[in-house]
Amino acid sequence: MPFDKDAIRLALTRVQHPALKADIVAAGAVQKIAYCDGFASVKLAGANLHADQRRGLEQQAVAAIRLLAQQSGAELADVHVEITSDVPTPPAPGHRPIPIAPRETDPANPLPDVRHIIAVGAGKGGVGKSTVAVNLAVGLARRGHSVGLMDGDIYGPSLPTMLGLSAFETSVRGNMLQPFLVHGIKAMTIGKLVDPEKPLIWRGPMAHGAFKQLVEQTEWCGGGELDYLVIDLPPGTGDVSLTMAQMLKLTGAVVVCTPQRVAQDDAVRAARMFQQLGIEILGVVENMSWFVGDDGKEYDLFGRGGAQLMAQRLGLSFLGAVPINTALRENSDTGNPTHNFTDTSPRNRPLVQALETLTTNLENQAALASMRMGASAPKLSIS
């Protein structure tokens, strides 16, 4: 886990403002963060706080930064917190995570009851990342696994449409969001927590807070453990991916790419980002690989096999290819991904085979990654 300004900002989200019902980042109280050669400094806006509140705020901020340094293995010589008389500048109204009281979690492992956490990412938008994430989650659930699916694409959430959540109401029990139980999985998306037509204009700290809330304040493991939590990331290599790497111990990541060269270039950047963050890449998926016309002939619209060649060049596993399929588009638009697996008509058979192959390969790669991480150990039974 890196120790830098972004990591310090994320650590400060655990410090509650003494006068406002929000953490100091969401409240707009963090004015400046600096870190260099083992010295960290933070400037906080503290208008109308009395001496005890200022002292307590300073102590909590220092403790949060020192804890981060300890977890990161970074050498921290000194921390200086300055509290000014300025007024905090909160984010624009309507663009904060929903107001639910935070719960206490272990910063080192906020999801201890999840066996495998798998991120699905892409270097650019429009390559079908969310489609792959949804169908991998449903495919794993159909194999008998307990599966969660989190819509981490907080700027453009797709799960409300792709899972058919329009008729569902968000439920909060105590201080925990209750996931939606659909298609055999547990799902949560920021798209059900905000106005569906409101643009999500969030700066980095607000994106941190939204992602953090979806992770920590969703009842993912109510009633038992999860075998898999699949996280659909926003496209690119931005703030949310960094937050995820700092918060969670991932089994690995899946990179989605279409065959053409322009998509491969961005996918390589996504792969390098995961590697730089210390996240193992479980494999590459080639989406929109080919198209079968009404004449039964296969057409390679985008240059079939390009993503597979990219995976080979980077030394990555290739999980499989998904064709362009009218039924896949229809089922995504109507919120019925289960039908992608149960429709055995001739036109859908290649899609079923492709999705089953992806699911099998992902299971195998996740098991291997867990063994490498030491999460799985052989059991000896003597009778």
Residue 67 CB neighbour total at 10 angstroms: 14
Examine the pLDDT at 167 and tell me if it is beyond 70.
yes
Q: Are strands 39-45 and 171-173 parallel, antiparallel or unpaired?
A: unpaired
Same domain, 31 and 171: no
pLDDT digits (tens, 9 = 90+) for 2-25: 688 878 888 898 899 988 878 898
pLDDT digits (tens, 9 = 90+) for 168-182: 888 888 778 899 999
Q: Are strands 318-321 and 30-36 parallel, antiparallel or unpaired?
A: unpaired
Average pLDDT, the chain: 85
111 or 292, greater pLDDT: 111
**Which residue, 84, 106, 137, sits at the end of a domain?**
84
Same domain, 345 and 224: yes
CATH code for the domain in which residue 239 is found: 3.40.50.300
Residue with tokens 């939590």: 229
pLDDT digits (tens, 9 = 90+) for 179-222: 999 999 999 998 887 766 555 555 556 666 778 888 888 999 87
Q: Which amino acid is at 383?
A: S
pLDDT digits (tens, 9 = 90+) for 115-138: 999 999 988 788 999 999 999 999
Does residue 105 fall inside a structural domain?
no
Q: Can you name the residues that pair with 148 across neighbouring β-strands?
A: 186, 229
Residue 174 CB neighbour total at 10 angstroms: 9
Examine the pLDDT at 382 and tell me if it is beyond 50.
no
Same domain, 70 and 165: no
pLDDT at 310: 93
Q: In which domain, by residue range, is 151 found?
A: 114-373
**% of residues, the chain, pLDDT over 90:** 42
pLDDT at 303: 81
Does residue 95 fall inside a structural domain?
no
pLDDT at 379: 45
Does residue 94 fall inside a structural domain?
no
Same domain, 71 and 119: no
Q: Tell me the average pLDDT across 240-267.
A: 88
Same domain, 130 and 26: no
What predicted TM-score, i.e. pTM, was given to this entire model?
0.71
Examine the pLDDT at 142 and tell me if it is beyond 90.
yes
pLDDT at 59: 93
Examine the pLDDT at 96 and tell me if it is beyond 50.
no
Same domain, 213 and 313: yes
Does residue 99 fall inside a structural domain?
no
CATH code for the domain in which residue 40 is found: 3.30.300.130
Would you place residue 319 in the very low, low, confident or very high pLDDT band (cuts 50, 70, 90)? very high
Same domain, 74 and 192: no
Same domain, 30 and 150: no
- Write the DSSP assignment of 276-341 as a string of letters: HTT--EEEEEE-S--EE-TTS-EE-TT-TTHHHHHHHHHT--EEEE--B-HHHHHHHHHT-TTHHH
Does residue 322 fall inside a structural domain?
yes
Does residue 219 fall inside a structural domain?
yes
Residue partners of 229: CB distance under 8 A and separation at least 6: 111, 114, 116, 117, 118, 147, 148, 149, 150, 220
Same domain, 75 and 138: no
Same domain, 224 and 125: yes
Does residue 237 fall inside a structural domain?
yes
| CA–CA separation, 87 and 47 (whole Å) | 5
Same domain, 279 and 222: yes
Please count the structural domains in the chain: 2
254 or 266, greater pLDDT: 254
Same domain, 157 and 55: no
Does residue 238 fall inside a structural domain?
yes
